Amino acid sequence: MKKDIIKKIHVNLPLRMINNYIEKYLEIGLNPEFGIDSQALDDLSPEDISDISEKFIEKGLKISSHGPFFDLNPVSTDIEIKEISRKRIYSALNYAQLLKAESMVLHPGYDFKRHGFLKDEWVKRSCDFFGELAYAASQKNVVLLLENVYERSPEEILPLLEAVQGCSGGFCFDTGHHFAFGEVSIENWIKETGPFIKEIHLHDNDGKNDLHLPPGKGKIDFNPLKLFLSKNLNDIRITLEPHREEDLFPCLEWLEKNNVF
């Protein structure tokens, strides 16, 4: 049964760690969600990226990707910070294309503690940028997905999801971020963002810290999500994000036990 589940899910794999895990992923048959961070952009050539992609494609595996986010602000009011952030993001999009990734996840970066006093301006700049990026991604056969991080409620990300929807963009709902940083229920998130959800990052925590625990090892009530998936699973990718190697199989066991597939 686990082999059937493995075929249907993706598992995060930072490209900076590719040499440590590529053989294990290929042996088990894990579909990777490659993390394209700054180190990968600096250390791996386009040729390296293409070679990595071919190894997975030869095994019949599907590829998705996650773009960089540390220290980036593509809608900064500081022109130089904005320009270098956008350069990094577009470079990651080029790598996503070379990987033959079906999608690329990005963090929009809204944080009410930093941006609340200029929210309307931040939203407008973000809608413009991510709308343009979604179009550029679609021209490379990559679907742009925006992920919740510090957003307190769906209201803080919905305008951006509407901005990317026209180019087939969508929402990556991160269960752990919702529980650690959000302020409304998972039912509310699903009700408001359900039509946009194309991927779910599935992990658990204690409600205070982004621990990336296997589901069932923290305090999240996943029942509303399981109900939603029972009606929509064919249109949604589930990506596991274990931060410890030993947490992968407990994630798979939870999926099996809860009849998610």
pLDDT in tens, 217-259: 999 999 999 999 999 988 899 999 999 999 999 999 999 999 9
Q: Is the pLDDT of residue 2 over 80?
A: no
- pLDDT, tens digit (0-9, with 9 covering 90-100), for 130-160: 999 999 999 999 999 999 999 999 999 999 9
pLDDT band at 192 (very low <50, low <70, confident <90, very high): very high
β 31-35/103-106 pair status: unpaired
Q: What is the largest CA-CA distance in the chain?
A: 52
Beta bridge partners, 64, equal 33
User: Span 74-100, mean pLDDT?
Assistant: 98
Fold of 2-257: TIM Barrel (3.20.20)
The Cα 4–Cα 244 span in angstroms is 22
The Cα 31–Cα 239 span in angstroms is 9
pLDDT band at 199 (very low <50, low <70, confident <90, very high): very high
CB 146 within 8 A of CB 130: yes
CB 159 within 8 A of CB 125: no
pLDDT score at 141: 98
Q: How many CB atoms lie within 10 A of CB 109?
A: 20
